[in-house]
Structure 1
């Protein structure tokens, strides 16, 4: 009780000091940068100086997860502080967002903040489709221009985006930049080959380029005298764009780097195991700014954790985190717009995944997909994907191919401590039946409480919503649909 009271007082003090002088916010979000690709997580190859500095001067989260491992729903969840499945069309890639869902950027603007964004922030999709008159993250411009032109008497919130390390990559850039291919850790769901090591090195090259951008933004804040009063968050929207990563609910798709710096208001050099969700970002920013958090936001403010840089007592800390997915790309057989719906619950030890329509293909069909990429269209093109497909006839490669592209059972269970790459499904083992039952009950209860239409008996429309990418309409017309 004494510790709980202390934490409450610290949080209140932090909030009160913020009200006296509202903090600036710099939200740095990479595109397809996933865990564990930062030095702070033990990666021996990644070069992440900006992230490392923020970790030295702030709080690093070791267990941060997205709401959905796909660009648009992940970003929608960040903006609204809500789980992706609560956002109707916004649960899918290349979708939209209804203005009726409170948006932390606009709420901050209403509270006196200047807002803006650079490069990839919200999306992709059509934000005007359901009534937005302007970009959901405010005006778009380079960060230095925004800082130069802003009203210095007002606090600001800026969404600092990028398209790194999204594919395509220039082949060989990683090796040319000096990344040691021999030291790269190849996940257990790939064969260990020079081609795949080189592909991962090219990804590292773009991660480093992103870090240089963030470092430059921090230097600008320092020159302007704004660094110490700015909350800086650095993270990525989901896992790396490789097979069994991006678009998947395993840690390599759903877990992300996350660090928060806020001058002296957040202790330096701390690491926490608190389960952090992307739905927690909006309420954290709003509370720090002294702005009321809407009841519709399902996330919880991280200020109580940030105020001490320590994990909360077990009674106040989430024992699990929930996330999932609907349609990434229309990767099933033409002309279907069906997605691959799945939900997951992650505890310290276990990952349980429910594949809600297991007769569909998790990465899409091998031929004849609605999406113009055609072959396994839910997985970005690249040398790793091509290697698995080209060498399918090799029995040693075939097992990796199946892990990445084959149909999956309705239920998957992984022991994340014994099997960190999550390749050994234990769901069918009798000795783990009680674990499956317990986790399933907790997951379904959470989904019902948070109004997931797939678990509340409501009409489910995720597969019927438009895929708002112009190239798809043109492609389907060319094929007679």
Structure 2
């Protein structure tokens, strides 16, 4: 009897090791401020992204991937926890923290036997220790080369491969100097077509290309280790590019991101997925692939069914996606810490935005902001922003300036098929009143069902949460606050 028990234990151990060996590695590659559609495979005529394009061709290209919030910390918190940003307390804001009570896919994988780690910008920015984390939420930090050399080869790994590219500042003129044809740079219709703006976008492209080459180097390490085919490789960004009316905004240019997923062993190549997905779907996808139970708290759902890896547990994709924002930086009047609360629902044709407090300035006040950037502080500084401000009194420029910096109405409605850059607000057109009400009801129902404090009976304390950037404290003290 004892001998049989021992043999059974040995068999279980061997089976467990086999299962562990078969579990996929995960390389999660996330850029900082890289937005859709800035990749060659999406049709951009200038930026060159051969690594992303290859991943898309060898796996799945997602055409409609959206973040939970177009701001670094809440977007990354939502990805890490698989939950909508507004469910995460302080984690809904930039330069915040994260309560370890929220399940974290990196730690769930570690607890299941994965070796985890991160490089450069992964979680944050913020103070992860403020609410109880004893270590970085994405595991130990190291270069990926070091991680691959020192890891336990008997364990699967999950590595968050981050970057600060293409976050500002840029070396001015770097795009043109690299050989890009500035005449071919697409300029969104909410900017005037000016050389200074084309050059600024090209400088952003230059850093996108540098990021793409970093990912290529990481993939080569996995290939050299002989583990490429059983590694899930995901490449995406945390929100749109750091330009006016993009990053921090709920239009597609702020909230839609590139996304490609490759898993050579399981995913058939050449797939193109046109339904809506949220980056909150990544955590449950990773967990299901690793055989780890998905916590009920997660509002995202696994994409393995959509990619043909598993039998779909629900209808493929979504008919709509919901996202929003609270405080990016404290950009209202000094010394207030208010953000710009807004929520959005995006369908195949429509984008509806609810601006919760339209008396606030969406990009920050014109002057006297709590944040040291001061003028329109919720928008990253750079040549495009400065050109629009400098030429705001030009009658030809004034409409563009208003689109980027003026106050906005309580409700915005855009026909995304006729108006892909979302510049013509139809919310006040009586012909679209029924559409507004239908989308509003759909959005509010979702927000209520997922516990958004702004749309339930609970408090909505987002403006009162600490802004955990040391530079702000020094700035306020210097100004007598």
Residue 7 of structure 2: aligned partner: none
Correspondence 1:322 to 2:344: no
Measured in 1, the distance between the counterparts of 2:283 and 2:275 equals 17
2:327–2:341 Cα contact (<8 Å) kept:
yes
- The separation in 2 between residues aligned to 1:309 and 1:320, in whole angstroms, is 23
Whether the aligned pair in 2 keeps the contact of 1:270 and 1:309 (CA below 8 Å) is no
Partner of 1:94: 95
- Alignment of 1:368 onto 2:368: yes
Rg larger in 1 or in 2? Answer: 2
Q: Distance in 2 between matches of 1:255 and 1:333?
A: 29
CA separation of 1:440 and 1:398: change in aligned 2, threshold 3 A: same
**1:46 aligned residue:** 47
Match of 2:141 in 1: 140
| Distance 1:201-1:396 versus aligned 2 partners, 3 A rule | same
SS in 2 for 1:396: coil
Aligned to 2:249: 248
Paired with 2:420 and 2:42, the residues of 1 have a C-alpha distance of: 14
Secondary structure at the residue paired with 2:62?
strand
Counterpart CA distance in 2 for 1:18 and 1:443 is 42
How many Å separate the matches in 1 of 2:94 and 2:203? 25
Task: Give unpaired runs (5+ residues) of structure 1.
Answer: 1-16
User: Structure 2: how far apart are the matches of 1:262 and 1:70?
Assistant: 28
Q: Deviations over 1:305-355 (max 9, x none)?
A: 112699x89954311000000000000000000000000000010000000
Matches of residues 24-423 of structure 1 in structure 2 within 5 Å? 24-307=25-308, 315-423=315-423
| Distance in 2 between residues matched to 1:269 and 1:165, nearest whole Å | 27
Q: Deviations over 1:192-214 (max 9, x none)?
A: 00000000000000000000000
| Contact 1:19–1:290 (Cα < 8 Å) also in 2 | no
Aligned to 2:22: 21
The question of whether the paired residues in 1 share the 8 Å contact of 2:266 and 2:309 is answered with no
**Could you tell me which residue of structure 1 aligns to residue 6 of structure 2?**
none
Once the two structures are TM-superposed, the CA of residue 370 in structure 1 deviates from its matched residue by 0.1
Question: CA RMSD, aligned part only?
Answer: 1.4
Q: Post-superposition, which runs of at least 4 consecutive aligned residues in structure 1 deviate over 4 A?
A: 17-20, 312-316
Unpaired runs of at least 5, structure 2: 1-17
Q: CA deviation at 1:264?
A: 3.0
- Greater shift after overlay, 39-48 or 353-362? 39-48
After superposition, the Cα gap between the structure-2 partners of 1:385 and 1:349, relative to the gap in structure 1 and judged at 3 Å, is same
Q: TM-score, normalised by structure 2?
A: 0.95
Match of 1:428 in 2: 428
Residue of structure 2 equivalent to 1:10: none
The one-character-per-residue Cα deviations of 1:172-223 (angstroms, maximum 9, x if unpaired) are 0000001110111100000000000000000000000000000001111111
Secondary structure of the structure 1 residue equivalent to 2:305: helix
Q: CA deviation at 1:466?
A: 0.4
Question: If the length of structure 1 is used for normalisation, what is the TM-score?
Answer: 0.95
Check the 8 A contact 1:271/1:309 in 2, yes or no: no
SS in structure 1 of the partner of residue 207 of structure 2? helix
SS of equivalent residue, structure 2 residue 424: coil
CA displacement 1:141-171 (0-9 Å, x = unmatched): 0001000000000000000000000000000
- Cα deviation per residue 1:280-302 (whole Å; 9 max; x = unaligned)? 01000000000000001110000
**Maintained 8 Å contact 2:20/2:156:** no
- For 2:280 and 2:453, the matched residues in 1 are separated by 18
State the Cα distance separating 1:460 from its structure 2 match. Answer: 1.1
* Cα 1:449–1:192 shift into 2, 3 Å: same
Match of residue 13 from structure 2? none
Q: Tell me, in whole angstroms, the C-alpha distance in 1 between the residues paired with 2:229 and 2:318.
A: 30
CA distance in 2, matches of 1:308, 1:420: 32
Query: 1: CA distance between counterparts of 2:435 and 2:19?
Result: 43
Inter-partner Cα distance in structure 2 for 1:231 and 1:75: 19
Aligned residues of 2:70 and 2:239 also touching (Cα < 8 A)? yes
Name the SS for the 1:28 alignment partner: strand
Other structure's SS at 2:78 match: helix
Counterparts of 1:448 and 1:433 in 2: how far apart (Å)?
Answer: 22
Contact 1:18 1:290 in 2 (8 A): no
- Tell me how far apart the structure 1 counterparts of residues 252 and 316 of structure 2 sit (CA, whole Å): 24
Residue 94 of structure 2 contacts residue 327 of structure 2 at CA under 8 Å; is this kept in 1? yes
